[in-house]
Amino acid sequence: VHRTLLGKDGSLFSSMFQLPQGEHEPEGTDACPIVLQGDTVAEFKHFLWVLYALPHELLEVTSPQIDLTRLSRLIDIARISFKYHFKSLETWALDVITDHVTRKPSPIFSVPTSRITATATNTATAAALASPSAIAANGALISRLMRLGQLCTHERLLTTVITVVRALMVYSVQYAHLAMTLADELNLRALQGIAYFAVMQQGDIVTRGSPNVPEDAIVDEDGRLIVSPQQKLRLLSGYHRLTMLWEHLRATPLKFDHALACGATWHQHGCSQCWLDFWKEKSKSEAVLDLGLADVPGRLRAIEKEFARWGSATYMHNDCRLTVRKAIQDKIKLIEDALPDYFEDEET
């Protein structure tokens, strides 16, 4: 019966079972079992379970009341299905997992995702998410899900988990540390830049391998994040490049094309000078200087906020004001999209 079921869905087993047996004793008996490299007994049992499961039993892993034990079974099913080319079963398992991750409130994270996606104004929620137990539990689950999504190239699962971990960074920099490590391991550009940027903002780090620094910990006894030598080099490179970028922006206001109405009914030189004076003043304002020197997106947002409050400028055309504000927003997006490039080390 196993042989019939395992040979379905165009799986790897269907080809294996058709190979000539040779002169040796065939595998598949208690005395001479088939050895599957890299799989545990529990993982393969979970896979066999779904092959034999009845409809009402499948509800255990598809209902909203799923727990971590059942989710772990689904993860095993998806991984084994991918390994042995059970494509339809793999797709089903990955889609069910993704649905559970996106469900609100989430039944699988230690704090529901409906609260994760809110801002950190709720003290109790923030404290719960930043607790060591929540960080450990959520971190372990995020790692498994992200590795699974990358292994199976399931974009929807990857995107969903990346969204969750980015939201969690608000509550603890340890989530950013986890995201940075996973992004390096899995080469996830969508996560790498924002994770390195968040860790850089925290600033208090120590290199793994330094004296009195535990090897397998995330933070040392003083609460400093533990990073690898390569990660430290990337953080320093990112800090240097972003500070140089800010110095260039501070000295060179963003350029914009004047509106047609400005050229027809306005004095363009006065319009340009008005923008130049505003930039020189606000790039040195308290709201900007309170932010880190390398926080270029944050500083640009502070300038945009001041620009929105500016009111009517005597020598700047209203259409040009709209163009300038969009130019600031576009620059912020351009920098954020390019964050991974700023954190490349010199050898990359």
| Residue ranges making up the domain that contains 15 | 1-19+30-103
Q: How many domains does the chain have?
A: 3
Question: How far is 111 from 2, CA to CA, in rounded Å?
Answer: 40
Question: How far is 111 from 251, CA to CA, in rounded Å?
Answer: 45
For residue 237, being part of any structural domain is answered with: no
For residue 269, being part of any structural domain is answered with: yes
Identify the pLDDT of residue 117.
54
Residues 292 and 210 in one domain: no
Task: State which residues of the chain have pLDDT below 70.
Answer: 1-30, 32, 34, 105-107, 110-122, 212, 265-266, 311-314, 346-348
Question: How far is 288 from 249, CA to CA, in rounded Å?
Answer: 13
Residues 83 and 161 in one domain: no
For residue 295, being part of any structural domain is answered with: yes
Identify the pLDDT of residue 37.
81
For residue 234, being part of any structural domain is answered with: no
Residues 265 and 217 in one domain: no
Closest CA to 256 of 276, 232, 280: 276
For residue 10, being part of any structural domain is answered with: yes
Rounded to 5°, angle at Cα 80 from 74 and 83: 140
Identify the pLDDT of residue 2.
59
Residues 277 and 208 in one domain: no
Residues 11 and 60 in one domain: yes
pLDDT in tens, 55-110: 888 988 888 878 888 999 999 999 999 998 888 899 999 999 999 998 876 667 76
Identify the pLDDT of residue 8.
59
Supply the pTM of this predicted model: 0.84
For residue 272, being part of any structural domain is answered with: yes
pLDDT in tens, 244-281: 999 999 999 999 998 888 877 667 888 889 999 999 99
Residues 266 and 179 in one domain: no
Residues 6+ apart with CB under 8 A from 155: 149
Packing angle of the helix pair 173-186, 155-168 (nearest 10 deg): 150
Residues 219 and 287 in one domain: no
Residues 6+ apart with CB under 8 A from 178: 139, 142, 143, 165, 218
Residues 96 and 165 in one domain: no
Domain termination residue (choose one: 227, 243, 265): 227
Q: Is the dihedral of CA 312, 318, 322, 328 positive or negative?
A: negative
Residue count (the chain): 348
- Would you state the structure tokens that stand for residue 247, as one six-digit string? 């110095």
Residues 5 and 74 in one domain: yes
Residues 139 and 188 in one domain: yes
Question: How far is 208 from 225, CA to CA, in rounded Å?
Answer: 9
For residue 165, being part of any structural domain is answered with: yes
- Would you state the structure tokens that stand for residue 8, as one six-digit string? 């379905």
Identify the pLDDT of residue 266.
65
For residue 348, being part of any structural domain is answered with: no
Domain termination residue (choose one: 76, 103, 130): 103
- Which ranges in 252-292 belong to alpha helices (H)? 260-265, 268-282, 286-289
Domain termination residue (choose one: 48, 76, 103): 103
